[in-house]
Structure 1
């Protein structure tokens, strides 16, 4: 830090508790409006049908053992108006798949125009924010994310913004900063891990323990057991629908937390950042009217977004009604402060 910040150090010690806190900011609550439609749609194995002269839209994925990525991918598509009433076909027959309107996780093709979203083919290495066809391995990825997409990642990449606008209209619509923030955060917090697991990417080079309680594991356990009575295709499809509904509930819980808790905290942090000069002339101190909310990640992002000088200290009222001051840590560190209070 430069000499100017060092000179502020002693002044802060006196002035932090003397400045009146700004007026509490009004937050825009974003309450998740859950989709009311039921995921248990018609499922089959044959080519699409027509009702009179009207074409019935069809979506497809593979038959047999199911995984989390296509279970969630199908659920996400079903929340969109275009695909809400589509008939699901589970098959590995290429002749059948070619007749379907949209296919995920099978077929050996990734083609947005053709609505084909598989990730198993040789040479495929697409990421959430990378340039199409630019990479063949993680260290060549052009975006911030380095994880190879699975079926759910492909669906979310191309339809996620529309999906969020349908499930949570209060986010402000496609193209808005609020929806975009949730779109990226939900991928980072949920979808990326599902992509990694489906593609066999470990969270660490040498895992210290096995993890079997996550969504991918729970969905895998819904498959028929090898030594259980034989399950016919209708029974297998019913289990897939159960898996898809489970994945959808998990997605809804993540979105509910982001829209109802994480995003309102971001609004408060942004308001405090914009009002920081009312707390101290330097703009290096911000004040929250309540504590307990997640603020560090938001602060780092918003400082960049607004081109603001680094905030050094945060004032907030704890649950006991006592005012506290906390030094802001350097981004990416847990204990290295941008500027520490005197011992």
Structure 2
């Protein structure tokens, strides 16, 4: 029923072709395509059968332009390798599906201005209704990236300045809880294995660790920066814990804490008898480390859910929502067997 083009190719079947095949009007085919309910069930089944027989696909872009919405969001993310990013993306996808939205993921190969600008251009080509940025670098909060005007945007794990919605776990409180827990156990110093200096959340944890020590009258030691991997935690701790005065280590994520524990086992230093270890994230395997890991639990599901709520509010307001500022999700210290009082302290 479709015409043959001059090139010898057949044009895609149209709505009129489906209407003729099903013996109905084009308006009826349109109603079925758009999921409207004012169509007799037997007629709907006949139209759907004709669509399948002809290979007809409704023009989603045309329908989107008509209603002014694409039911699609874009997600810009630097890496899929970290525990937190994967959990956050899972929550975003879950909330999008509940609202009948699709997700277009743009992973960045590097955290440069060109990479981010390219991601914006690609999302613009995809015709999305809004964007969630899961981006831990400092590029955004330094004002070096101009976010697209008129496009609803929510930022996770960074800062976009005034006028944009930001959602993040309470990094400052999480690091304070970890450090204070070790001090309360009687440790006179807490060493920190931090994330990369380019990481927004890592540097917030460093700042909070330092301020918590100073609030107790303790001068912070040198910070040791890893790259979130178990290997970096292992290598740093091999050097750090060779010093017998080191009795407490706070690692900025659970993977580096696991590497630290491996190094301590290798050095023959008991956990927590000789050295206490605290991680950050509370990944599912944390309770199976040996000994089970004391860690800071981040609520990535709530971060993703709230980010989508903020984005949908902006979309409903036509991209001109007055909702901005930072929404902070509480963190929680989960105490397990990897921490205890240092030897010689009452109760150890």
Report TM bin, short chain: under 0.3
Asked which structure has the greater RCO (Cα within 8 Å, sep 6+), the reply is 1
Q: Which has the higher strand share?
A: 2
TM-score, length of structure 2 as denominator length: 0.23
